[in-house]
Amino acid sequence: MSERLVELEVLRYNPETDSEPRFQRYSVPCQSEWVVLDALNHVKDNLDPTLSYRWSCHMAVCGSCGMMINGEPKLACKAFLRNYEGVIRVEPLAHFPIERDLVTVIDDFVTKLKRVKPYLIPKQDKPVSEGEYRQTPAELKKYKQFTLCINCMLCYAACPEYGLIPKFIGPAAITLAHRYNQDSRDGGRDERQKEIATTEGVWECSFVGACSEVCPEHVDPASALQQVKIKSTVDWYKEHLMPWLNK
């Protein structure tokens, strides 16, 4: 087991004592296979118990530990020290207010998630006693990728639109709406369109693509949003050029 002394530069902020955030340096003896989260845990257990941050699963599935590592949004449990040289800068996830140290206020995201109606609105009602809705492997694959979002918000930290225009609903929330729209069992697209086919919905997106670049689960939210744009555009043309199609 090889060891390595790693310098961490961590952004601290305690509203009770600080008027603004400041950096604090820690020298951490690390194992070579560690991730940044392991280093933070070492700091908290041995050097500075006052450091606050969120984490839980340590396997990139709970989405708690998103933070900026050398200016890039990453999950601390999947940021391998072997990929970094020199001082490692650790800051709270960008584009969210800082509550305390590396803990951000994510209320905005949680509200937007709820807003897009991210639940199945079945096309056809079916009692449980009649068994499952049939869904072929091809139908499942159509939306499966978009179910993998762990709500880590790295995409919101990467998205410059969200950074500049906070009312933008954002990649993960719109992707989740799209996930249900693409589900063969769902019939709720019209309801979701009211929320996402709006100015602060998908039309704020200018296809920077940063969201998909940083997504740790390869959900590809950029793809979902462009698909929503195309479908919404087709909707618009149908509505205005072929009004007889509307019921």
Partner 1 sequence: METLQTDVAIIGAGGAGLRAAIALAQADPKLRIALISKVYPMRSHTCAAEGGAAGVIKPDDSLEHHFNDTVSGGDWLCDQDAVEYLVQEAPKELIQLEHWGCPWSREPDGSVAVRSFGGMKKQRTWFAADKSGFHILHTLFQTSLQFASIQRFDEYYATELLVDEGRCAGLVAIEMRSGQMRRFDARAVIIAGGGAGRMFPFTTNGAIKTGDGMALAYRAGVPLKDMEFVQYHPTGLPSTGTLLTEACRGEGGVLLNKNGRRFLQDYGMGPETPLGKPVLKTMELGPRDRVSQAFWHEQRKGNAVPTQWGDAMLLDMRHLGEKKINERLPLVRDMSISYMGVDPVTDPVPVRPVVHYMMGGIHTDIKAATSLPGLFAAGECACVSINGANRLGSNSLTELLVFGRRAALSAMEYVQSGARPTGDTALAALGAAAQGRVRELMQRSGGTETVAGLRKEMMRTMEQHAGIYRTGEGLAEACGKLADLRRRYSGIELHDKTNVYNTDLLQALELGSMLDCAEAVAVSARERKESRGAHQRLDFVERDDQNYLRHSLATHHPGDAPRIDYRDVVITTSQPGVRDYSGDHK
Partner 2 sequence: MAEQVTRKPYVREVPRLRWFFRHPRYLRYMAREVTCIFIGAYTLLLLVGIRRLAEGQAAYEGFLQALKGPASVLFHVVALVFALYHTATWFNVTPKALPVQIGEEFLPGRVVAGAHYVVWALLSLAILFLAGVF
Can residue 16 be called a binding residue for partner 2 (CB under 8 A)? yes
| Residues 75, 58: Cα–Cα separation, whole Å | 9
Can residue 110 be called a binding residue for partner 2 (CB under 8 A)? no
| Residues 52, 37: Cα–Cα separation, whole Å | 12
- If we measure between CA atoms, which residue out of 118, 105, 247, 108 comes closest to residue 195? 118
Residues counted in the chain = 247
Can residue 124 be called a binding residue for partner 1 (CB under 8 A)? no
The residue range among 135-143, 155-163, 165-173, 207-215 that interacts with partner 1, by the rule CB under 8 A, is 135-143
Can residue 61 be called a binding residue for partner 1 (CB under 8 A)? yes
117-146: contacts with partner 2 (CB under 8 A)? 137-138, 141-142
In the list partner 2, partner 1, none, the entry touching 9 (Cβ below 5 to 8 angstroms by class) is none
| Residues 100, 73: Cα–Cα separation, whole Å | 18
Can residue 229 be called a binding residue for partner 2 (CB under 8 A)? yes
What is the Cβ-side half-sphere exposure of residue 211, based on CA atoms within 13 angstroms?
Answer: 29
In the list partner 2, partner 1, none, the entry touching 89 (Cβ below 5 to 8 angstroms by class) is none
Can residue 13 be called a binding residue for partner 2 (CB under 8 A)? yes
Which one, 15 or 243, has the nearer CB to partner 2? 15
> Could you please report the per-residue DSSP string of 173-238?
HHHHHHHHHT-TTB--HHHHHHHHSSTTTGGG-----HHHHH-TT---HHHHHHHHHHHHHHHHHH
Can residue 197 be called a binding residue for partner 2 (CB under 8 A)? no
Q: Count the neighbouring beta carbons within 10 Å of the beta carbon of residue 129.
A: 5
How many residues line the site for partner 2 (CB under 8 A)?
34
Q: Are 119 and 190 in contact (CB under 8 A)?
A: no
| Residues 202, 168: Cα–Cα separation, whole Å | 8
Query: Which of 110, 164, 208, 230: binder of partner 1 (CB under 8 A)?
Result: 110
Rg (CA), the chain: 21
Binding map of partner 1 across residues 5-24, x = CB under 8 A, - = no contact = ---------xxxx-------
* Residue ranges that bind partner 1, judged by CB under 8 A: 1, 14-17, 33, 44-46, 48-64, 78, 80, 99-101, 103, 105-106, 110, 113-114, 117-120, 122, 126, 128-129, 131-137, 139-140, 143-144, 147-148, 150-151, 176, 180, 183, 185-186
